[in-house]
Structure 1
């Protein structure tokens, strides 16, 4: 029988903490972290995340947010990566704005030698064709992790 061995989450609602957070194009930023505890060899780890973001651009085109889950530090090994994008159409009145909420899910089998705890980090990198403009992480930002074992 599978049981929940540990659960951890971190959440920032819209307008709370340092939100909105402005990210320039081309740089990866740490958003939040969680600690998964009581991980044993063969346990299943499941991660869920949500990021609300908006694009501030002066040119139409494809804006992309690359979302990563990293192990150990905000620059540690990538255990999961995905992206979401928003196509901005022509706007003759100034800057372009777009809003989107992206949810991610990832599961993996623990590759540890002995029981341990590990910190996981949720990061985001905004990019577009010219690497100009900014995105705002407006929230909510949610990151959770569950450890399942026998």
Structure 2
């Protein structure tokens, strides 16, 4: 297993395509999220990619600064054929560790899909809002307790 952290300008064109393809399959096709999920935050994000020994993208998320005091992560995914292997846990553990090393004094907050509330709680995230609708999918803001 390879765990990679890359800024957008460090991604090869194939890696960028692979990320956007997987995000489109998960968020637009599977979850029927009708918004364009590629945005300007991709340009400033650090992209966390996990690959297996066959070099397949098996888990992904992006991390970026919101402002001088806050950082977030999102677009968390595991392609369908790699689900159920505990990759989400590995992904989040590595993301939180990287954020703590690179931005130790920043608050980490996320916009989590509500159905994943307990998953994020298991990493120390706590609710920071009421449930809200984001293009037909229930979400909740959460903050990592330090």
Higher strand share: 1
Normalization by structure 2: what TM-score?
0.28
Bigger relative contact order, structure 1 or 2 (CA pairs below 8 A, ≥6 apart): 1
Higher helix share: 2
Normalization by structure 1: what TM-score?
0.28
